[in-house]
Amino acid sequence: MISAYAGKLLRVDLTSRQVRSESIDPDAARRFIGGRGLATKMLSEAVHPQVDPLSPANTLILATGPLTGTSAMCGGRFMAVTKGPLTGTIASSNCGGTFGPELKYAGYDMVVLEGAASEPLLMVIEDGKVELHPAGELWGLNVHETEDRLHGELGRDFQLVSIGPAGEKLVRFAAIINDKGRAAGRSGVGAVMGSKKLKAIAVRGTGGLSVADPPGFRAACLDSLAKLEAGEITGQGLQSFGTAILVNIINESGVFPTRNFRQGQFESAEKISGETIAEEILVRPRACVACPIACGRVTEVRGGPYRSRGDGPEYETVWALGADTGVEDLGAVTKANYVCNELGMDTITAGATVACAMELFEEGVLSEKDVGRKLKFGDAEAVVDMMTKIGNREGFGDVLAEGSARVAERYGRPELFMGVKKQEMPAYDPRGVFGMGVQYATSNRGGCHVRGYMIAPEILGVPQKLDAHTPQGKAETNIAFQNLTAALDSIGVCLFVTFSIGAPELAAMLKTATGFDYDADEFMQVGERIWNLEKLFNMKAGLTRKDDTLPRRLLSEPMPAGPAKGLTVPLDEMLTQYYRLRGWDEQGAPTQEKLAALGL
């Protein structure tokens, strides 16, 4: 048995309802770590890249990392890895909460879901014992109702992941939810779970984990913890105001996408900021397992038409349901977020898809007859209404449930899709942060910020400040961030730790936990190996250099006002440099020399 790992995976054929336990391969663990890396290797071997993501031939893997469930700070993460129905690319969505550690305590590093059931099922895992139960009475319930029902029947000791109506109805950006508000949100992993007719997994474990070098591991963890507590972002900002502390910062930088990326500043940003959330609706901060940061927000809107209480909204959600749709009503944004959590949807794609539809409406492409109502920027009631309709595929919501790339294409205006590889970009306009432009374009799962968070150096000055308005040095820095994040997603620790620590500290914790002799350079090489393997999967799925691009608006329409006024993204220059530094050819394909060097 490998130290820090549970040592086993659970393979479940939902078609035949056959369940078996398999040992984790130590060599594969050494080369791909766990989480995102090991699950990507397994998916690449098990699934044809051109498979229909919503067919039984696709596989969904819920995977922890070796530090998940240990005393490593912020070590509560797991990954959902599959082929994504929104994008057609490899999907790997990160999630916190309580499920990942509990799965390891029950004896498993990952659950591999194959095939598809003929009726809704519930999976119950308790200390290595696995049962599949009919779940027809749960089908149709929202996430909150599902969790409440199962906790009432099984007990509060069980930790859960589940899908809501959005996952059941195959909304292409449906999420997998745990703890009522923690989401494996992007790329439609919840729709894949829905296609397999698996409503929920309940897990309870009483086992423990051992590390290879307890004194060394403790010292490495304490060193990292001290740096997190001393960090301005991890020790102060995120604790006080959550991720929405970024609203005013990004808006003042002129890169807060507004009204479907037509502008880079929102005139009402202060009304939906982290500071306003703290002042008006915050109940308390909320942390995931072993997290000293506690960036989560429990909030409550007590009056008006949008009464709600629950988790969030986070920064990306505030933007997607607020500035991107032109909505300044914090109560409406919070309510719309709550509806997304209940129905089980990614708030970024949900809000951005409505924003795209709003521009189509204001351009006269859509009418009240098409939508069933007016759909104009700034209409708070419409945003809340559309969230409900999308999650239930009701009326025009059935159209929006396909995501904005398909909506824009359907109505003959593909240029109004603000995303990459059919996935909507999040809350940073790359016309004023060029590094985010090359990150969006090259991200293996489509428009994404957490694959290489270039906002850290370009806006926040972490680990050092880079000029956001120059292409120089952006490809090199972005590659380093992408490799670091790929390895980080594999160990089971939260991305936010990288505001204060880097590869040396992460490698030290991994080495002392597992006994594998990692150093910072090898840790980064594992990330590079994972990144290249994901790229190979996407190439076999049919993606080419033409997919490594940005919306026309960002390449040819200068930012109209603000600090980034007059700028567009110089993508070609950065992309050519990026491919060269990656060791790829001019078409963005890894060379044989690069693959050999990585052992692929």
Token output for 223: 């060193």
Q: How far apart are CA 570 and CA 556, in angstroms?
A: 10
How far are the Cα atoms of 346, 348, 372, 398 from residue 395, in angstroms, in the given order?
19, 21, 8, 6
CA–CA gap between residue 336 and residue 317 (Å, rounded) = 9
The SS3 assignment for 86 reads coil
Cα 347 to Cα 183: distance, rounded to the nearest angstrom: 10
DSSP assignment of 7-52 equals -EEEEEETTTTEEEEEEPPHHHHHHH-SHHHHHHHHHHHHS-TTS-
Q: Phi, psi (5° rounding) for residue 63? A: -130, 130
pLDDT in tens, 490-547: 999 999 999 999 999 999 999 999 999 999 999 999 999 999 999 999 999 999 999 9
Contact 33, 44 (CB under 8 A): no
Question: Tokens at residue 103, please?
Answer: 């799965």
pLDDT band with cut points at 50, 70 and 90 for residue 1 = confident
Fold classification of 434-499+519-598 is 1.10.599
- What would the pLDDT profile of 93-104 be if each residue is shown by its tens digit? 999 999 999 999
Which residues are 403's β-sheet partners?
none
d(Cα 74, Cα 293) in Å, to the nearest integer?
8
CATH classification code of 232-424: 1.10.569.10
Q: Which residues contact 70 (CB under 8 A, 6 or more apart)?
A: 4, 209, 211, 217, 290, 513
> Rounded to 5 degrees, what are φ and ψ at 134?
-55, 140
Pairwise CA distance, residues 600 & 595, whole Å: 5
Q: 3-class DSSP state for residue 92?
A: strand
Q: Give residue-wise pLDDT tens across range 257-306.
A: 999 999 999 999 999 999 999 999 999 999 999 999 999 999 999 999 99
Amino acid making up residue 20:
R
CA-to-CA dists, residue 11 to 18, 62, 505, angstroms? 8, 11, 33
Looking at every residue in the chain, the average pLDDT score rounds to 97
Please say if the pLDDT value at position 481 is more than 90: yes
**Gap between the Cα atoms of 493 and 449, Å rounded:** 17
Predicted confidence (pLDDT) at residue 147 exceeds the cutoff of 80: yes
**pLDDT tens track for 338-383:** 999 999 999 999 999 999 999 999 999 999 999 999 999 999 999 9
Q: What is the pairing mode between strands 198-204 and 159-162? A: antiparallel
What does the pLDDT average to over 317-334? 98
Q: Which residues of 353-371 are buried (b: 16+ CB within 10 A; e: fewer)?
A: bbbbbbbbbeeeebeeebb
User: Given a cut of 80, is residue 467 above it in pLDDT?
Assistant: yes
Residue boundaries of the structural domains of the chain = 8-204, 232-424, 434-499+519-598
Overall pTM surpassing 0.95 (yes/no): yes
**Nearest by Cα to 351 from 376, 380, 322:** 322
Residue 578 CB partners (closer than 8 Å, separation 6+): 438, 442, 475, 478, 479
pLDDT of 395 above 90: yes
Q: Determine the pLDDT at residue 420.
A: 98
Query: How many alpha carbons lie under 13 Å from residue 384 in its C-beta half-sphere?
Result: 18
Residue-level pLDDT at 12: 98
* Mean pLDDT of the 474-481 span: 98
The CATH code of domain 8-204 reads 3.60.9.10
Query: How far apart are alpha carbons 304 and 227 in whole angstroms?
Result: 42
